C-alpha cells in the first residue's frame, strides 16, 4: 500500500495512518520538519530541521538527514505512539530496558508513505564464513562443553553478531568469528556486542573471539576487557564453491570469571 501526502499533510490524517501502519506492521517513511529529543544513557537534541523518518514493522525507528549513511538517531524494539498537541504533531518511541525515549516534534509533514513489505530471510554470510558459522552452530561443544545455541546472525545497532549461546551455567555467551587474524577492532566489536546482549537481557554475559591468530595489541585489550580468545584452525576445500572444514579449536585465553562466580580454566585445547 502506498499513501502519499501533498505539500503539507493534515495531522489528523497522519495520526490515523501511523497508528494503522503500526498495527499492520508496515514500513513507513515520513518527511517533515521536526526537532528530535533523546533521553536515555545520555541526552541529545536536534533542533528543528527537515528530516526523513523511517519506521519498520519491528517497531524500529531511525531519523536521517541529507548526509552520511548512518541515521542521526535510532532505536529498536520500541513502543510507538503519537498525538497532536498545541498545533504540533508528536511522535514518541519508548523503550523500557534500557530506559530510552525518543520524541519527534513536527511542525510540518510534507510526505508520508506506507508499504506492506513481507518479511524475508536475514542477510547471511557467504562462502567459507557462512560455512564456518553453520558448522559451529551444529556443535558448539567444540568451543566449550555445554554451550547451547540461542541465535545466529543477531542484528544489533552497529553490526551483526555471529553467534549467541548459553553456557552450562546459564550465562549468555557472545561469539564472534574471524577468518583472518583478529585485530584491535575485532575485540572492540565483540565487546560492543557483549554489552548489547547485557543491556537487552539485563544480565552479565561472556564474549569469545574465534580466529586463526590475534595481534598483540588486540590480545592485551582482550585481557583488559575480560574477554576470551580461541584459536580456530580450519581449511577451505573447493567443491563447486569454497567450503570450510574445522580442523581444531584451542582456547588460548584463560576464562575471566570475576563477575561470573566460577573459577574454571578453559586454557586446555579441544580437538
pLDDT at 227: 93
Instruction: Say whether both 141 and 245 belong to one domain.
Output: yes
Of the candidates 43, 83, 82, 47, the residue with the CA atom closest to the CA atom of residue 61: 82
Which residue, 115, 141, 166, sits at the end of a domain?
115
Alpha-carbon distance of 128 to 243, in angstroms, equals 5
Which is higher by pLDDT, 137 or 113?
A: 113
Instruction: Say whether both 148 and 230 belong to one domain.
Output: yes
Range of the domain at 179: 127-270
CATH number for the domain that contains residue 26 = 2.70.180.20
Instruction: Say whether both 144 and 228 belong to one domain.
Output: yes
Burial (CB count <10 Å: 0-12, 13-18, 19+), residue 238: exposed
Which residue, 115, 140, 169, sits at the end of a domain?
115
Neighbour count for residue 259 (Cβ, 10 Å): 10
Instruction: Say whether both 90 and 132 belong to one domain.
Output: no
pLDDT tens, 90-116? 999 999 878 899 999 999 999 999 999
User: For the ranges 68-82, 134-148, 212-226, 250-264, which has the lowest average pLDDT?
Assistant: 250-264
Q: How many domains, in total, are found in the chain?
A: 2
- Residue 122 placed within a domain: no
Alpha-carbon distance of 271 to 143, in angstroms, equals 9
Instruction: Say whether both 140 and 258 belong to one domain.
Output: yes
| Residue environment code for 74-102, b if the CB has 16+ CB neighbours within 10 A, otherwise e | bbbebebebeeeeeebbbbbebeeeebbb
Instruction: Say whether both 99 and 23 belong to one domain.
Output: yes
- Residue 39 placed within a domain: yes
- Residue 2 placed within a domain: no
- Residue 69 placed within a domain: yes
Res 240 pLDDT > 70: no
Amino acid at each position: 500500500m502506498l499513501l502519499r501526502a501533498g505539500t503539507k499533510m493534515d495531522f489528523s490524517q497522519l495520526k490515523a495512518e501511523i497508528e494503522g501502519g503500526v498495527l499492520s506492521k508496515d514500513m513507513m517513511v515520513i518527511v517533515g520538519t521536526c526537532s528530535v529529543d533523546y533521553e536515555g544513557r545520555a541526552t541529545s537534541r536536534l533542533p528543528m530541521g527537515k528530516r526523513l523518518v523511517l519506521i519498520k514493522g519491528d517497531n524500529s525507528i531511525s531519523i536521517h538527514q541529507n548526509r552520511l549513511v548512518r541515521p542521526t538517531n535510532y532505536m529498536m524494539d520500541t513502543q510507538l505512539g503519537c498525538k497532536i498537541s498545541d498545533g504540533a504533531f508528536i511522535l514518541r518511541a519508548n523503550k523500557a530496558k534500557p530506559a530510552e525515549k525518543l520524541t519527534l516534534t513536527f511542525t510540518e509533514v510534507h510526505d508520508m508513505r506506507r508499504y506492506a513489505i513481507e518479511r524475508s530471510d536475514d542477510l547471511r554470510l557467504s562462502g567459507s564464513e557462512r560455512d564456518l558459522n553453520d558448522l559451529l552452530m551444529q556443535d558448539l561443544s567444540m568451543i566449550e562443553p555445554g554451550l547451547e545455541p540461542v541465535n545466529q546472525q543477531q542484528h544489533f545497532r552497529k553490526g551483526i553478531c555471529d553467534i549467541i549461546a548459553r553456557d552450562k551455567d546459564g550465562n549468555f555467551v557472545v561469539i564472534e568469528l574471524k577468518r583472518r587474524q583478529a585485530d584491535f577492532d575485532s575485540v572492540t566489536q565483540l565487546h560492543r556486542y557483549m554489552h548489547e546482549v547485557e543491556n537487552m537481557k539485563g544480565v552479565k554475559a561472556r564474549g569469545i573471539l574465534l580466529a586463526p591468530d590475534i595481534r598483540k595489541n588486540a590480545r592485551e585489550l582482550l585481557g583488559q576487557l575480560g574477554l576470551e580468545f580461541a584459536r580456530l584452525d580450519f581449511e577451505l576445500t573447493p567443491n563447486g564453491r569454497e567450503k570450510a572444514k574445522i580442523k581444531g579449536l584451542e582456547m588460548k585465553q584463560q576464562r575471566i570469571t570475576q563477575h561470573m562466580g566460577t573459577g574454571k580454566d578453559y586454557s586446555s585445547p579441544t580437538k
